[in-house]
Amino acid sequence: MARALASGSRMLMLDEPLSALDARVRMELRYEIRRIVKRLGITVLHVTHDQEEAMSVSDRIILMRKGRIFETGTPLDMYRSPKSIFAAYFIGETNLMECTVESKRKGGGVILRLRNDVPVNVSKSKANVGEIAILSVRPEHVYTATDGLKAHVRDVVFMGTYWRVRTEAESQDYVDYNIPADSQMPEIGEEVYLVFNKKASRVFKRPKEGLTEAIKLE
C-alpha cells in the first residue's frame, strides 16, 4: 500500500486487502486504512467479501452479484433502506417472512398477514393491497412483549456483546432477535411473543423468481 501511494496515485484499488488476516487484526486495520485514505484525500476501490468491513470502511457500497452491479448506496442507506431483498439479506442479517398486504391507510400504516393469518403492523410497504409480499425485519428490530407473534425459542447463542435468540414462530418462520449479554437468557422451548419495530420493517414485493432464488448466494 505504501509503495502504491509513493507513486503519487490519486486512486488505489485494494483487492481483499484484509482477507488473509486474523479477525482481530482485520478489525484494527480497517480503521487504519480508512484513516490514511481520509487523511490523504484519495479514492479507494476496496473489494471485500466481508459485509461489516464494507460498511465500516466505505463512503459508498457497490454490491455486486453474478459479476454485475446489483445495488449501490451509502452504507447507511443500504442497511436501513435496501432497494432489494437481496441487499437486505446480504448486507447485515434479516428475518424474511412471507406475508399478504391486507390494507394500507392513507396517512401511513399497513396491516400485513403472515402465514397462519397472523396480523402485523408496519409503517409502509412497497407491495400493494392483496399482493403476496416479503417482510424484512432485522434481529435488532425484534423485541419481546406480552403480546404479539407467538414463537418458541429453539436456540440461544452467545455472541459476546449480545445473545442471539432463534425462534420458530406460529407463522412457520424462523425469527431471530438479540438481547443484551447481561440480560436474562430465555430457556430453550420457552414461549415468547415478538413485536417488530414498525418503522424499521421493510416490505418488498415478492420476487418473480421466488424468495429462495432472490437471496441465493453464488
Task: Look at the alpha carbons of 117, 118, 119, 122 in this order and tell me if their dihedral is positive or negative.
Answer: negative
Q: Is 138 in the site for a copy of itself (CB under 8 A)?
A: yes
User: Which member of 6, 8, 11, 22 binds a copy of itself (CB under 8 A)?
Assistant: 22
CA–CA dist 119, 107 (Å, integer): 19
**If you count them, how many residues does the chain have?**
218
Please, what is the minimum distance in Å from the beta carbon of residue 112 to a copy of itself? 22
Please, what is the minimum distance in Å from the beta carbon of residue 180 to a copy of itself? 8
Please, what is the minimum distance in Å from the beta carbon of residue 106 to a copy of itself? 26
Q: Is 187 in the site for a copy of itself (CB under 8 A)?
A: no
Q: Is 123 in the site for a copy of itself (CB under 8 A)?
A: no
Nearest residue (CB) to a copy of itself, 174 versus 193: 174
Buried b (16+ CB within 10 A) or exposed e, 46-59: bebeebebbbebbe
- Total residues at interface with a copy of itself (CB under 8 A): 38
Strand 11-15 and strand 43-47: the pairing is parallel
DSSP states of 28-70 as a string?
Answer: HHHHHHHHHHHHHT-EEEEE-S-HHHHHHH-SSEEEEETTEEE
* Contact residues for a copy of itself, defined by CB under 8 A: 22-25, 27, 31, 34-35, 49-52, 55-56, 75-76, 79-80, 89-93, 138, 140, 155, 157-161, 164, 166, 178, 181-182, 200, 217
